[in-house]
Amino acid sequence: MVVNRSREAWKTYGNVFDNFTLRNLQKLSTQGYFNELEESIAMGKEANVFSASTSEGEKIAVKIYRLENCSFNKMYNYIIQDPRYMNLKGDKRRIVFAWTQREYRNLMKAREVIRVPTPIGFKDNILLTEFIDEAGEAAPQLKNAFVENYDLLYDEIIQMVLLLYKQGLVHGDLSQFNILIKNDQPVFIDFSQSTAVDSPNAKELLKRDLEVLSNFFKKQGIKRDPQKQFEAIINTK
């Protein structure tokens, strides 16, 4: 069984369980990726994330992008600026599929230089990744985590942004919501908006990421100049 609740019960989770998605979940389950979905981890504007059990008794994360009630125009405006997807054409469903594939590709690239959930696989609007846990439970977002040294953590996060940039990527949606804390270390998540550094909007997204982080850490008593951070990153060798 792919979903361990009644279909009616799962409808409360943003209508992600349409017939098409349920068939794809069944295919992924049959292929051995997981046994069944267990519980909701996060509900977002475009996607919901669930934990799933595997036959080895482990957990993975299953991210399901909605095929309806989704911000297709926003997705399209972001993705066509990415040199890898500039020729993307098609209907709304194909845009969602490309969006899912892009997050998988971004995670594959990012994992070479920073800590992210290990990508496991994807199919159409479904992305499978490592489940980031802390003491058996879903790791907390930065906004909810206990942090002993915000100053040190801030420096570590900026170093990760730099490493990601040198790897050819800008996260594009980095905030206290998209950073998890596991064993006192930051883990970047949600790479669907991430883009190549040669995208027309890459520097704009990088600057926004740094400003959002600066605003969060300022509330924790840590002040940095996001403009100086931006200049140092884009001028790195």
Q: What is the dihedral of CA 214, 232, 179, 12, to 10 degrees?
A: 80
Q: Rounded to an integer, what distance in angstroms lies between the CA atom of residue 78 and that of residue 66?
A: 17
Condensed to tens digits (0 to 9), the pLDDT of residues 191-230 reads 999 999 999 999 999 999 999 999 999 999 999 999 999 9
Instruction: Verify whether residue 225 is a known catalytic residue.
Output: no
Strands 137-138 and 119-123: unpaired
Of these residues, 82, 124, 173, 209, which one is catalytic? 173
For the chain, percent of residues with pLDDT exceeding 70: 92
Per-residue confidence at 10, pLDDT binned at 50, 70, 90? very low
**Long-range own/partner contacts, residues 55-62 (CB < 8 A, 24 or more apart):** 58/131, 59/131, 59/133, 60/33, 60/34, 60/120, 60/128, 60/129, 60/130, 60/131, 61/117, 61/128, 61/129, 61/130, 61/131, 61/132, 62/25, 62/34, 62/37, 62/126, 62/127, 62/128
Is residue 173 annotated as a catalytic residue, yes or no? Answer: yes
Annotated catalytic residue within 190, 198, 209, 225? 190
Instruction: Enter the tokens of residue 4.
Output: 């361990």
Of 61-65, 85-89, 139-143, 212-216, least confident by mean pLDDT is 85-89
Least confident range from 3-7, 82-86, 132-136: namely 3-7
Q: Is the pLDDT of residue 13 over 80?
A: no
Domains annotated on the chain, with CATH: 7-134 (3.30.200.20), 140-234 (1.10.510.10)
* pTM higher than 0.85: yes
